[in-house]
Structure 1
């Protein structure tokens, strides 16, 4: 199950690599009135994407309470979860962490990450190299993680760039799914607000464009690793994973 919050925040590179691995993505679009499933019966994994709303802004995004319930259900059932940017913030918040507006303004562009000790044995982020660049575009971030969460990656300007909760739930603050085209679109729409607080949206686009080959390699591999967790967990739980031919069209 993939939850997309806005028109221009689809699964991108992550979805591409998961489909190439043969997984069947069912993308849900609650922002245009689609009802989210009531529970996770029969699902093999949950991918929650990014978006502009704050993770507590149920007025702007009235589907967020359902997303929080699905995340709690998934973590309780040890169903694989990957939360990206807003999705990672919802994961942290839903399980007792705290998400705040960044007082220093948004973090945008290609930013180097640092490995933390727990990353060494992590099945999804263990192969991410020290100093790997990641595409960023976020105004909010986790200030505290839920009890028992394991920090995996950090950065100079954002302490919790990746974390794991339990054995099969991951949240990342950055955008492993996007490349320079998406960042350019966000710079067009959000650039004036970024400039107003001293940011450089044009520089962000340029940095992501320059880093794109490495972004494809590192975060494509991360997506594949999460897909492996999905398949192995489904086999262990006796869930049938729908398989599609590589290159098959993503469900709309």
Structure 2
């Protein structure tokens, strides 16, 4: 039997799957990365894949003039929900999931950048992907967002929250998850983001190098926590594969 295939939608240079991709590949999954920002076309349906991973980017979910492929990415997410296909939307990916399923996204009054503590909600303790995060020390994750989900889609199950952002993670159906934070990144991954976002970070009273250094200091913890998270999601993709078996 061939390896489970995951369609990865990358919205911008420097925003790849990083450690999530590394863990999935090591788990035996085949990542098919589409980069519409570089001219790749997105498929009309996710039918040829076993999982869908939609990554982040500096644009917002309504910025189709800047990124005209966003509606196509939203269509894929909507179809994934209808099929209950294993899906993970990260940051912009979660925001696109929200909009695609009838929720709303707004500009955050208090953007989150850098490390942030997350608070599991009661449904997380019964969630296949998030349950391990409800035990022991509250999880922390890297944040880098100026937009946030204001109204969840109908039927969404909230899983995580934080002091500044009510909706940090939620689930649709049994197999579709969105996370506002970035489980895929470590210090080296965000170093370039700090360089390109110097102005916005300074406006928030943040020093880019200090943000990167703070993440670097927690790198071992982040690698273990979110690496395991990625592996669990990969195992769900493998267990629930629905795409046709390929030679």
Residue 224, structure 1, aligned to residue 231, structure 2:
yes
Partner secondary structure for residue 68 of structure 2: coil
**CA 1:195–1:174: 2 relative to 1, 3 Å:** same
Partner secondary structure for residue 220 of structure 2: helix
Q: Which has the higher contact order (CA 8 A, sep 6+)?
A: 1
Partner secondary structure for residue 102 of structure 1: strand
Matching residue of 2:4: none
Kept in 1, the 8 Å contact 2:106–2:148? The answer is yes
Residue 51, structure 1, aligned to residue 51, structure 2:
no
Residue 155, structure 1, aligned to residue 170, structure 2:
no
Matching residue of 1:125: 130
What aligned pairs does 1:5-16 form with structure 2 within 5 A after superposition?
5-16=11-22
Where do 5+ consecutive residues of structure 2 fail to align?
Answer: 1-6
Partner secondary structure for residue 136 of structure 1: strand
Query: What do you get for the CA RMSD once the two structures are aligned?
Result: 1.4
Correspondent of 2:8 among 2, 5, 19: 2
Higher strand proportion, which one?
2
Distance 1:199 1:98 in 2: 28
**CA 1:151–1:200: 2 relative to 1, 3 Å:** farther
Matching residue of 1:83: 89
Q: Deviation of residue 232 (structure 1)?
A: 1.0
Matching residue of 1:192: 199
Distance 2:102 2:93 in 1: 15
Partner secondary structure for residue 70 of structure 1: helix
Aligned length: 239
Kept in 2, the 8 Å contact 1:231–1:241? The answer is no
